[in-house]
Amino acid sequence: MILHCVFCNFRADSPPAERSKVFQELQDFSVTLDGVLGFEFGPNLDFERKSQAYDEGFVIRFKDVSALEAYANHPVHRALGGRLCDLCEGGADGIVVFDLDVPG
């Protein structure tokens, strides 16, 4: 299973409602795809105080790499990803992505 983790450093002037809207649209879209096992999003609680710059994020669980690739290459993902980048500090540079191969 692939755990796709996305962490966002939002611009101070990006509206919280727009952030949530993009996350919700990503969730609504992703769960329609074959091989997507789950999607969660929310604020960074940063209990260890090591990632203050990253306000919010989401994780998607994919059955395998091919499911992740189908998601990544899909035009809806690209459009929503562009909107997410527009809300982040430095555009795409304000987003960190980790893809972990974990037991499923």
CA distance 19 to 41: 11
CA distance 26 to 77: 7
| Tens digit of each residue's pLDDT (9 = 90 or more) over 30-60 | 999 999 999 999 999 999 999 999 999 999 9
Domain boundaries in the chain? 2-101
CATH fold of the domain at 2-101: Alpha-Beta Plaits (3.30.70)
| Tens digit of each residue's pLDDT (9 = 90 or more) over 24-34 | 999 999 999 99
Give the predicted TM-score (pTM) of the model: 0.95
